[in-house]
Structure 1
């Protein structure tokens, strides 16, 4: 089972922020994968702003083996990297801490990491936040130009 859980970690590209399994008080399940591993996010561990977010994530199999990972997400690059990964036995005791390489990897579509990423930043505004601001400016400029033309036309009519 431990090998399966570790393989799931690598395949899922998911991370969490360093809290031991007994220390988290607000685990909320956000999914279950095809292998039966349940995924949880510790709502109390979330630290997020418009650019980055860190969070503790737990993945637990049906036998109770689990890992808790501290993950750091980058909004602009849509990447995630492991900060800390700890494996636990079903009784909640630390089995070992996995080495992390601090390398960012892409958040892939349909993965648990994408679900967590979208938890912080809605899927519809991820890549278009700056574009929406620019589009609003364009609309305002067009409106201003139309208003200016109307005012100019009105002034010309008064002069006649």
Structure 2
């Protein structure tokens, strides 16, 4: 695929809201060795999968979950679900789950997995910073410090 075709594919992906088509875009691009196109398709997929209103806190939480699950599924070749996070959300809700994971002494495994996959904007810490009205200052301070500790500029993560 030429650069022009790749650019056209990325533009099509940006306007696509069909999860099945986005998965196919990603699979085709990966098969052709076009990682940038595959990544664009996957990131768009994580944007359209949540049923919650785009831009909402809940949408951002589920976008994070789908991103980590999607990455792990792709890498492992088998469906992978976050077996502790999903039940915790079912029990406590998105807000309390995010607070709890941020306030732990050590960052969650999911935090490092998303950082390692260059998806810092999808960590729960970044989600909290984009929705500061939902959190107390100590939560926001820990979230910002944790992101800074791994070299992430928090200014670019806030309210995109």
Please give the TM-score of this superposition, normalised by the length of structure 1: 0.27
Higher RCO (CA < 8 A, seq sep 6+): 1
Q: Which structure has greater strand proportion?
A: 1
Q: Which structure carries more helix by proportion? A: 2
Larger radius of gyration: 1
